[in-house]
Amino acid sequence: MTVTHPLDDAKSQPYPKTTLWLWPTGLFPRRVIFYLRAKGLTTAILRARNIHLIPVKILFQEPYPAIISCPGYEARPEPHHSLPVMRIERDASAGGDFWIREAMGVTQYLEEIFGPDEGYTNLMGSSIMQRVRARDLLNALSDATAFCFDALIHLRPECCFFSGLKEEEMSKKGGEDARNRFHATLKKAEGWIEGDVCGEKGTMSITGKGIPATIADIHLAASIMHAVEPYGTNWLEGHEVFQEWWARVKGERFVVSREDLQEVERSGKWEGVLDA
């Protein structure tokens, strides 16, 4: 008997039970939520494909905060899974459960499930050029994110609660170097997109002409909002090209406020964010 691998034939019936844990105000899970909004994937659409979302929240306690599932939901997988994390249930004969552990992997899987042939927008880009530009930008944004967090954990004592460092272990010089590398990375990326983004006829997407938003726009928007809300860090300071893009995009439907995301963590309900 041939056993269907859910990643090889994810659209076949019956749909494998799929569980996705998301911490709404966390950076990487937020990218997935922005993606779901941009894609138009409501809770009803997800449930019809046997995809179940579990909201996760932070519980402040000593010595370190805990990130746990909201009441009434299956517990967050521990201890080796970061967030987001997706589990696709399979029989042992098919290799057992399959796990996806990164936001980019989760969105790539969902792109396979909800493709253009079923009327859903391809958020990877509408042309070869747009898809390649999105990939370039995603790599640069990944570097920028890493440099941003390095700067935070070495320059901001309030970040010790998640970095695990003591204040005397922080390196001001290392933090300043990371901050400089962060801005240099964004400046490099601005050089790639300036011709498309700037001016009266500038595009809505940092990837150029095509669909209004790609996965690159979604990742950048989530990073901007996550940095400024808890940490007061302005990703766009000194970056006029990205500022011009953000002025166009920040009112788009896929950009969800921190207040709305916090409400999901308080209530354990997704409807206000995904079905609004």
Residue 85 is predicted with a pLDDT of 97
Identify the domain containing residue 47 by its residue range. 18-118
Residue 114 sits in the same domain as residue 135: no
Contact 159, 168 (CB under 8 A): no
Q: Which CATH number is 187's domain given?
A: 1.20.1050
pLDDT tens track for 64-105: 778 899 999 999 998 777 899 999 999 998 899 999 999 999
Low-confidence ranges of the chain (pLDDT < 50): 1-6
In a domain, 200, yes or no: yes
- Distance, in Å, from the CA atom of 81 to the CA atom of 84, rounded to the nearest integer, reads 8
Residue 9 is predicted with a pLDDT of 56
Classified as helix, coil or strand, 54 is: strand
Q: Which pair of tokens denotes residue 13?
A: 């019936």
Residue 2 is predicted with a pLDDT of 37
Residue 7 is predicted with a pLDDT of 52
Phi, then psi, of 163 in degrees rounded to 5 = -80, -25
pTM of the full structure: 0.91
In a domain, 261, yes or no: no
> What are the residues whose beta carbons fall under 8 Å from the beta carbon of 173, sequence distance 6 or more?
none
In a domain, 264, yes or no: no
Domain boundary among 82, 100, 118: 118
Structural domain count, the chain: 2
Residue 139 sits in the same domain as residue 83: no
Contact 131, 125 (CB under 8 A): yes
In a domain, 262, yes or no: no
